[in-house]
Structure 1
Amino acid sequence: MRTRLLRSKDYEEMKKLFLDVFSHEPWFDQWKDEKQLDLYMSDLTDNKNSLSLALYDENHRLVGGSLGYVFNWWEGREYFIKEFFIARDKQNQGVGGIFIDQINTYLEAQDIQHIWLATEKNMPAYPFYHKNGFADLQNSVFLVKKVNQP
């Protein structure tokens, strides 16, 4: 397994992998509008502070993605993972943990101090992240508000 920056030539393959993972159990996302999906993926991969990492297997097949942003903060640089995913046929085999370890190594070399992410507590990703060294913030919450509701 090898982690490297997402190459522009692999963008379509990453989009296909993202769609395959998140349109199935347990997420069942409904990406019916390809233009909307392209806009979302572009938001994640085409900004000057984007950091898109790709995991390739020993056959050079794309099997994982970590799409996010690097921000500067008073404690140093931080990486916010917006999307983290592993090919469905590689899940529950330790591949995600390998990817997290390789991301850690990459970030350390880039002098990035923290990894941030958000997930839902009732999803399999939640215990996975705990198993791989992430912890709940005791004094923070993740909030949302619909724009068209008071």
Structure 2
Amino acid sequence: MIKKFELSDLTACAEIMMSVYNNDLWQCRWSLETAKSYLKDYVDCKKFIGYTLWLDGEIKGAIFCHEKIWWNNNEVFVDEMFISPELQRKGYGTKMLSKVEDYIKEHNLAGFTLSTSRYTPAPNFYRKNGFLDAEHVLFMYKEI
């Protein structure tokens, strides 16, 4: 079952996020407090959209998004999405994306945008769900 995110879900979401990203593939080292603060920043966004995946009375995944103003039509930016490792590749991520897609349709928005690591299975998951590689944008950074 997918439910609208509630602030009381924050700790469980942070724990799941840590279980997904604190490994050699993603090379993250989240602490619980840092993960909670990171996710809370998204929750505090004025146009936050969030859902949690519940199985057997427990949160097993989440999607954190926000509605982003754009010149011709607003869109939804996916800030974070994660599913407990043991439940990945079982269709739950697709179900969460579908829930956000329903929101997009209900609010007559343009669609989704997101960024992810090209060196993980994530890009193929998003492509499978209808996302295209954006040839017209380039994500850049400068490390200091």
State the TM-score, normalizing by the size of structure 1: 0.85
Verify the 8 A CA contact 2:53 2:59 in the aligned structure 1.
yes
The one of 101, 122, 133 aligned to 1:125: 122
C-alpha spacing 1:25/1:110, structure 2 compared with 1 (3 Å): farther
| Percent of aligned pairs with the same amino acid | 24
Q: Which runs of 5+ in 2 are unaligned?
A: none
In structure 1, what is the equivalent of residue 52 of structure 2?
54
In structure 1, what is the equivalent of residue 66 of structure 2?
69
What displacement does 1:30 show? 0.7
In structure 1, what is the equivalent of residue 2 of structure 2?
3
C-alpha spacing 1:54/1:107, structure 2 compared with 1 (3 Å): farther
Q: Which runs of 5+ in 1 are unaligned?
A: none
In structure 2, what is the equivalent of residue 79 of structure 1?
76
Runs of 4+ displaced beyond 6 Å = none
What displacement does 1:112 show? 2.6
C-alpha spacing 1:6/1:25, structure 2 compared with 1 (3 Å): farther
C-alpha spacing 1:112/1:55, structure 2 compared with 1 (3 Å): farther
* Secondary structure in 1 matching 2:110: strand
- CA-to-partner distance for each residue in 1:113-146, whole Å, 9 max, x for gaps? 2111001222100111000000011121111112
In structure 2, what is the equivalent of residue 43 of structure 1?
41
- Whichever residue aligns with residue 20 of structure 1, its letter is S
Answering whether residue 134 of structure 2 is matched by residue 137 of structure 1, we say: yes
Verify the 8 A CA contact 1:4 1:55 in the aligned structure 2.
yes
In structure 2, what is the equivalent of residue 13 of structure 1?
12
What displacement does 1:35 show? 4.0
* Secondary structure in 1 matching 2:118: coil
State the TM-score, normalizing by the size of structure 2: 0.88
The CA RMSD measured in Å over matched residues stands at: 1.7
